[in-house]
Structure 1
Amino acid sequence: MHDHDQEIAFQMSRRDFLTRASLAGVGLAALSSLLPQQLFADTNPKPVLPHFAPKVKRIIYLFQSGGPSQLELFDYKPKLKEMFGKELPASIRGEQRLTGMTSNQKSFPLAMGNFNFEQHGKSRAWISELLPHTAKIADELCFIKSMHTDAINHDPAVTFFQTGSQQAGRPSMGSWLSYGLGSENQNLPGFVVLLSRAREGDQPLYAKLWGNGFLPSEHQGVIFRSGENPVYYLNNPKGMDKQSRRRMLDHLAQLHQVQYENVLDEEINSRIAQYEMAYRMQSSVPSTLDVSKEPDYIYEMYGEDAKMPGTFAANCLLARRLVEKDVRFVQLYHQGWDQHGNLPNDIRLMAKSVDQASAALIKDLKQRGLLDETLVIWGGEFGRTNYSQGRLEVENYGRDHHPRCFTLYMAGAGIKKGISYGKTDDFGYNIERDPVHVHDFQATILHLLGIDHEQLVFKHQGRRYRLTDVSGKVIKGVLA
């Protein structure tokens, strides 16, 4: 007998336990009555969701990896120009935790380049000249200018936003939603991930950011890549046609069922579900990703980059096509925003790579009637300091990580249009009004989907986990 067969043979199912307990007499039966009832029950029954009427059906999250500088884009602070090169007052900096990159600096000179800001739309939102297309849709946007986070370095900060914890191993937001709400399209995953970058040398991204953690593996994000094979292992192996694969999957499901009856491991059912999804995706994915029939005005809207697979613009267009097909959560990661030096030049490049397509996505969703049921989120893992890291010139300075305050924006279903929520001080260093923590942000996203963030839980290793961990409150001031 193989080791695997021996392992299955020695596994004890609930039925085996109760049968043996009854045969062993009163003594063992009495022992079983003293054991926790959870041993014999499903500790994670399928949640009944939504908890209340949702305002959002689908989410597109445009995550800007690296930490965009809010001071060059959205949080207009003329004092930084007035005091260029002067020392940040110690009373403003306080006991702020610093990274190892600036903790040894002897001075903290304030910095701001020659970027113009103007107010736009009826909302009079301040937006930088670096984002002219975004400025045109100012009245569709809800800016949160008082975001703050617990993490000060990239990997834990991105992980915190995506999973609610700075440590790896927790389920991502998309996985929680897939687990709680399921999929609206049985031929496509409920959670799709798209990757792009505008320049080399930035912080890496890891699969843990879209991983399922301790949730069943069928809820992990599925990466759609550019190229001939957008999803790994989707095509039939050489020598196997679709009918043969169907027969193979049917037989495999029967074998899995036998194993499940022996070991009662739900992960076995997850594997079957993944195999079946891959089979159904063979016909749905190619048509979804085929943008060749998009009209010319769409490319004019998104920009020429939309014709180049793998770019941010192309992924924004794919995101629209995916939500049209009822994919619940589309996560875009765009790398390149970590600017510790040469910020004035690099941020021009980064802003140009996202500005037109981000605005086009929102306009496109609106013209198709999808914005009323879709939420679009744009932002990174933290902000940037108001002082320069290292060399200081108008055209050459950098900014360190700043978790204390930064900006993101949202648009679409359930969100107030044309507002700025929260406020920072004149130095753009501290929050003056309406702070929003990462867990508050996550609680609000779940609320818009009809989920009480304190009630979407999963028991793992004796503890009940949730996306917002042990804190978080809904930001009612941004809700429509």
Structure 2
Amino acid sequence: MSMSDCHQYHEHYTRRDFLTKTSLGLGAITLGHLLDPLLLGAKAGPVPLVGHPTSPLVGGPHFAPKVKRVIYLFQSGAPSQVDLFDHKPELRALQGQDLPPSVRQGQRLTGMSAGQKQLPIAASPYNFQQFGQSGAWVSDLLPYTSKIVDELCFIKSMYTEAINHDPAVTFVQTGSQQPGRPSIGSWISYGLGSDNENLPAFCVLLSQGSGGGGQPLYDRLWGNGFLPSHHQGVQFRAGKDAVLYLGNPAGISAESRANQLEHLKKLQEDQFEEEQDPEIQAKIAQYEMAFRMQTSVPETMDLSDEPDHIFELYGPDSRVPGTFAANCLLARRLVERDVKFVQLYHRGWDHHGNLPGQIPRLSRQTDQGSAALVMDLKQRGLLDDTLVIWGGEFGRTTYSQGKLRPDNFGRDHHPRCFTIWMAGGGIKKGLTYGLTDDFSYNILKDPVHVHDFQATLMHLLGVDHEKLTYKHQGRRFRLTDVHGKVVRDILS
């Protein structure tokens, strides 16, 4: 073949070329249906505005959903269930004694505790009381949460296989301890799309405990993995530029930017016609979304229209951008605008040492904002179709890591049991589910695995977790891998 022949390939049409390029060809009809069914006279239906056109749920959820949106208040570092929710008064009589081998049962320890000759029992120094008609036990570290217990479902029997932070957080957020899988929010975006074409289906807000520190959080935790890139979470930051690179450069007007995007879209559509690469369509969707967000994001982030009584509900921190309380208020504003999945991360719960000096501070930072969010959603009629989740990646040990001192001790990682709470549509109110032993070490009743939690979350959104899959490298993947069952006993 001569060099000139290389420049004449458009003159040689294969059968595939004919089907793809001919306006009435089957390839064009299929492509047109995927990109916009209405252009070909299809009846209007529940086609996601931002969702992937090849999603198994492009025609709607598998069954009637109980909730339309999710707010996940993730407490990174693993809050101590022993000091917040899982009341074990018997431990005070055993203070300082070695954890019985019959309780540990040879279970794995982290490298931080494995060398200890003794595992001295450390009873919680905080007082617990029962609150509400449900009689739920809550520590005095959480006075605001104690007021809303009748709206909550406590799951005290969560467990995971991961014993270190990064794989444990990755497991909860993506269904795998190994990096590279899509996050929960990305799966939801892929399956259900968005009800608001001017904001992403999946938004992320980060805050950090005072004093800095804490386990690092990587953007792969809200990444799209192998799903098309426009399903990744969009991080909203405190300050002038809530979303990086969203604004126009100096001297570029909105009209000029719109004109530029229109020409770029035409070029990318031509490229897609040649290459059939779905990532090209994802880029087009991202550019168009970014243009619409230039108006929608500043309006959403502007809290000047919030009345004083709302700031008082969320607490003084809610007036400080980037705090957990401020992010809880922003989460409410996002779901008001029909954002499908809002993920909050708060760092600083990793208390290996000086727990008495640290956990009260972290509790103060998160308690009022979390409770206010539930109450605010309820008074606006949004809690009925919104799911709120509070919890970390695993629990903490009932024994002290290192030497036990009355005013200074820490707790190591504990994957065998931990507590989360859920509230909102489809969840039984005022329920405490699951039971641990007297040492808050092993589960005695109703264990709930991380995959079970994920399956239940998907179920509430109308998604069968076994059917929402994506084929990658020859295998069909799903959020729950090959595991998970819906925890029906907590469903209303």
| Paired position in structure 2 for 1:72 | 83
Aligned partners of 1:226, 1:195: CA distance in 2, in Å? 9
User: Within 5 Å, which residues of 2 pair with 1:315-464?
Assistant: 315-464=327-476
Aligned partners of 1:186, 1:9: CA distance in 2, in Å? 42
Q: Which moved more, 1:150-159 or 1:104-113?
A: 104-113
2:94 to 71, 83, 103: 83
> Are 1:118 and 2:137 counterparts?
no
Q: Counterpart amino acid of 2:489?
A: G
> Are 1:217 and 2:229 counterparts?
yes
| Paired position in structure 2 for 1:465 | 477
Measure how far apart 1:20 and its partner are.
10
| Paired position in structure 2 for 1:27 | none
Measure how far apart 1:16 and its partner are.
4.2
Instruction: Describe the superposition over 1:11-47 as per-residue Cα deviations: whole angstroms up to 9, x where unpaired.
Output: 9x9x8464699xxxxxxxxxxxxxxxxxxx9999322
Secondary structure at 1:231's aligned position in 2? coil
Q: Give the number of equivalent residue pairs.
A: 453
CA contact (8 A) 2:82 2:124 kept: no
Aligned partners of 2:105, 2:432: CA distance in 1, in Å? 26
Secondary structure at 2:83's aligned position in 1? helix
| Paired position in structure 1 for 2:326 | 314
> Are 1:257 and 2:269 counterparts?
yes
Secondary structure at 2:92's aligned position in 1? helix
| Paired position in structure 2 for 1:47 | 56
Q: Counterpart amino acid of 1:87?
A: D
TM-score scaled by structure 2?
0.90
TM-score scaled by structure 1?
0.92
CA contact (8 A) 2:300 2:333 kept: yes
Secondary structure at 2:423's aligned position in 1? strand
Structure 2 unaligned segments of length 5 or more: list them: 1-5, 20-33, 36-51
CA contact (8 A) 1:54 1:449 kept: yes
Instruction: Describe the superposition over 1:190-210 as per-residue Cα deviations: whole angstroms up to 9, x where unpaired.
Output: 000000011311100001000
Instruction: Describe the superposition over 1:278-322 as per-residue Cα deviations: whole angstroms up to 9, x where unpaired.
Output: 000011111111111211111110000000000000000000000
Secondary structure at 1:223's aligned position in 2? strand
Aligned partners of 1:115, 1:192: CA distance in 2, in Å? 35
Q: Counterpart amino acid of 1:186?
A: E
Aligned partners of 1:385, 1:50: CA distance in 2, in Å? 40
| Paired position in structure 2 for 1:246 | 258
> Are 1:133 and 2:144 counterparts?
yes
Aligned partners of 1:370, 1:128: CA distance in 2, in Å? 28
Structure-2 change in CA distance of 1:246 and 1:416 (3 Å) = same
Structure 1 unaligned segments of length 5 or more: list them: 1-5, 22-40
CA contact (8 A) 1:113 1:394 kept: no
Q: Counterpart amino acid of 1:364?
A: D
Q: Counterpart amino acid of 1:310?
A: G
Aligned partners of 2:438, 2:199: CA distance in 1, in Å? 47
Q: Counterpart amino acid of 2:150?
A: D
| Paired position in structure 2 for 1:300 | 312
Aligned partners of 1:16, 1:319: CA distance in 2, in Å? 52
Instruction: Point out 4+ residue stretches in structure 1 off by more than 4 angstroms.
Output: 8-11, 41-44
Structure-2 change in CA distance of 1:439 and 1:9 (3 Å) = farther
Structure-2 change in CA distance of 1:75 and 1:260 (3 Å) = same
| Paired position in structure 2 for 1:28 | none
CA contact (8 A) 2:209 2:362 kept: yes
Secondary structure at 1:362's aligned position in 2? helix
Q: Counterpart amino acid of 2:267?
A: L
Q: Which moved more, 1:227-236 or 1:106-115?
A: 106-115
Secondary structure at 1:137's aligned position in 2? helix
CA contact (8 A) 1:113 1:344 kept: no
> Are 1:179 and 2:221 counterparts?
no
Measure how far apart 1:114 and its partner are.
2.2
CA RMSD of aligned residues (A): 2.0
